[in-house]
Amino acid sequence: SQKIEQNSEALNIQEGKTATLTCNYTNYSPAYLQWYRQDPGRGPVFLLLIRENEKEKRKERLKVTFDTTLKQSLFHITASQPADSATYLCALTGGGNKLTFGTGTQLKVEL
Amino acid sequence: DTAVSQTPKYLVTQMGNDKSIKCEQNLGHDTMYWYKQDSKKFLKIMFSYNNKELIINETVPNRFSPKSPDKAHLNLHINSLELGDSAVYFCASSQDTGHGVIQHFGDGTRLSIL
């Protein structure tokens, strides 16, 4: 069956460092991969989308890579700030309307 | 101006009751969704409607019935509530472009069954 896994343990890093979050998938051939941010008590908010034929996408301090051979996406936040603390979700779709979400990784950026 | 709004935000009720959650989007999107997020924060699709037509219907008990009166509204009615229905229910919408369907979420309805 399809499986999307993210770091189950929380990731704690120091302010100013680069946070790297991992999303691995099996039994899936996604056409698109997305990353969302979720704050406590709020709904997920879209951050970035990357297509299967793209290796890397950037937006301000965010960078996403997509390796369809390794079946993995890495999500980087450079110069991290305490305001970046949240849960980050990866989500995959084969091109239709159905998004399948990963389990999420909680990031905490400490002063 | 809230893009996707859900009501109520909190819902506490007894087992066996019937309840409804409402969702409205003002983004002009064609497609709306219901998701369930359990205590482990896993977000799972339940239903999706495109222009008032059901297009995704995952393995959900038939006690759950979605209704879309128009493409800006998608409501969720739950009959005979059970303890396992306690979760956060999120509504979302997307423009049906077929290019990755970026979704816009409401802030959830926290359902607690006593």
Put simply, the answer to whether B55 touches A97 (Cβ < 8 Å) is: yes
User: What is the distance between the alpha carbons of residues B21 and A50, in angstroms, rounded to a whole number?
Assistant: 33
C-beta atoms of A49 and B100 within 8 A: yes
Please tell me the predicted confidence (pLDDT) of residue A9. 82
- Determine the pLDDT at residue B97: 56
Spatial distance between the Cα atoms of A28 and A32, rounded to a whole number of angstroms: 11
CA dist., res. A67 & res. B58, Å (int): 29
pLDDT attached to residue A28: 83
Angle, CA A69 vertex, CA A68 and CA A70 arms, to 5°: 95
Residue B46, pLDDT score? 95
A93 and B100: CB-CB below 8 Å?
yes
Instruction: Report whether pLDDT(A11) > 60.
Output: yes
Residues facing residue B5 across a β-bridge: B24
Q: A31–B102: do the CB atoms touch at under 8 Å? A: no
pLDDT of residue B98: 63
Distance from the B55 Cα atom to the nearest Cα atom in chain A, whole angstroms: 9
CA angle, A28 then A92 then B9, to 5°: 135
Distances (CA, A) of B78 to B65, B88, B111: 6, 14, 11
Report the residue of chain B nearest A39, measured CA to CA.
B107
Judged by CB atoms closer than 8 Å, whether chains meet at A97 and B96 is answered as yes
Q: What is the pLDDT of residue B57?
A: 87
Mean pLDDT by 10 residues, chain B (114 residues): 91 97 96 93 91 87 94 96 96 80 95 96
Q: Which of A21, A5, A8, A6 is nearest to A109 (CA)?
A: A21
**pLDDT the model gives residue A95:** 64
Q: Does A47 touch chain B (CB under 8 A)?
A: no
Which of B43, B45, B95 is the best mutation test for A, with the most CBs of A within 10 A?
A: B43
pLDDT at site B40: 83
In this model, does residue A2 exceed pLDDT 70? yes
Residue of B101, B107, B109, B110 to mutate for A, most A C-beta atoms under 10 A:
B101
Quick check: A30 pLDDT over 90? no
Mean pLDDT of A25-32: 87
* pLDDT at A24 > cutoff 80: yes
Which residue would you say has higher pLDDT here, A97 or A26?
Answer: A26
Residue A33 has what pLDDT? 93
CB contact under 8 A, B98 and A49: no
Residue among A31, A42, A89 minimizing CB distance to B107? A42
Place of tokens 């079946």: A71
Q: Pick from A27-41, A87-101, B3-17, B28-42 the range whose average pLDDT is largest.
A: B3-17
- Amino acid code (one letter) for A56: E
Q: Which of B31, B55, B105 sits opposite A43 (nearest CB)?
A: B105
